[in-house]
Amino acid sequence: MRGECQMLQCPNCGRQQELGKFCGNCGTSLEKIKQEQSVKQNIEEEKQTEFNVEKSAEETVEDIRGSTTEASRETNRETQAHETAQQETSATQTTSSSNAQSSASDMQTGLKKYWDYSLNLLKRPGEALHEKEGNFANGLVNMALYALTFALIISSVFNKQVRIFDGVEIGILVRIVFYTFLALAACLLLLVVCLLIAEKISVKKLTFKTIVAQYGGLLVPFIYFHVAIFLFSFFGATLVTILLFNFSIFIVFLILPAIYIYDKTVYYQSTPHKVYTAIGTVLLVIIIFFIAIVVFGMSAMENMLEILDDFFYYNF
């Protein structure tokens, strides 16, 4: 370095001194020594400068390499994240598609099972009397279908009776079907309660779910009967249609309960008074339904009258 002071050594006597053109001991000239030291110092400074430049360049290159590496790593991370997201999206889509296909397949399987079940009971309705709790859901479905097909018959008769089938608003038809379905479904559930009461008095062997499964199974032939009446209502006489679905109501709500309880008293040998038990069941159904109509029937009649008022108000 230029700020540092180097000692001058006499080439003749070897004496060292900091300053001076001549040796203080022997008088030998020191100019040459000073020049050599100056050249040497310049060379060292140049080397140091080159070293610093090289070091700085290396550090810059390292920084650039580090930045490039980090950028490359960041790019790789983003690419991996994007690929992962694509894979997850693809997996989700595949799962959703698989679930949809599985649901559709399960639905088809369920419909086929119910179809086979209903055809079997249509051919041999007596087997419904021996259904187990496992068919509770099928019993509920049968009750719902019976109520729905009955509601469709009522709406069809209404359309034909007013002779403006094409002019009836869809909203009025939907309301007729909806309220009729609810009313009949409630009546079927009330009927099952009546059977449960009669069973607990005379048999004491069955549960609510078992009764629903068995009595709901007995409704299968009448569901097909309702479908036939509904189709007939479009082409046949209205009076005949009304007689047919009233016949269905009479059988389902009065005759079938007596047959059901009679069969159970015979099967379990629970009482010797089988005929009286069956007749008592019918009387119980009549009494409970009379009370239900008195308590709740007026409200249902008001809803139906309101629908009719709306229809005649907007169409006449």
Look at residue 94 and tell me if it is in a domain.
no
Torsion of CA 303, 304, 309, 314, to 10 degrees: 100
**Looking at residue 18, what is its pLDDT?**
65
Residues 76 and 149 grouped into a single domain:
no
Residue 119 falls inside a structural domain: no
Please give the structure tokens belonging to residue 228: 């036939």
Using alpha carbons, select from 179, 182, 161 the residue that is nearest to residue 306: 179
Based on the domain organization, do 130 and 272 belong to the same domain?
Answer: yes
Instruction: State how many domains the chain has.
Output: 2
**What is the spatial distance between Cα 246 and Cα 222, in angstroms, rounded to a whole number?**
12
In the chain, the percentage of residues whose pLDDT exceeds 90 is 41
- pLDDT score of 114: 92
Distance CA 268, CA 265 (A): 5
**Locate tokens 């000073």: which residue?**
34
Residues 6 or more apart whose Cβ sits within 8 Å of residue 26 = 10, 12, 13, 15
Based on the fold, state whether residues 185 and 247 are members of the same structural domain. yes
Same domain membership, residue 137 and residue 28: no
Task: With respect to residue 89, please indicate whether it lies within any of the assigned structural domains.
Answer: no
pLDDT, tens digit, 9 for 90 and up, residues 26-64: 766 666 666 666 767 777 777 777 777 676 766 666 666
Question: How far is 145 from 139, CA to CA, in rounded Å?
Answer: 10
Query: 169 and 74, same structural domain?
Result: no
Do 277 and 151 belong together in one domain?
yes
Higher pLDDT, 171 or 238: 238
Supply the pTM of this predicted model.
0.65
Q: What's the CA gap between 189 and 194, in Å, rounded? A: 9
Residues 209 and 141 in one domain: yes
Q: Which pair of structure tokens corresponds to residue 203?
A: 């048999």
Domain boundaries, position 128: 124-315
Distance of CA 68 to the CA centre of its chain: 48
| Location of structure tokens 């069956």 | 278
pLDDT tens digits for 81-108?
777 777 777 777 777 666 777 777 888 8
pLDDT at 156: 86
Helix 31-123 with 136-162: angle, nearest 10 deg: 70
Q: What is the mean pLDDT of the chain?
A: 81
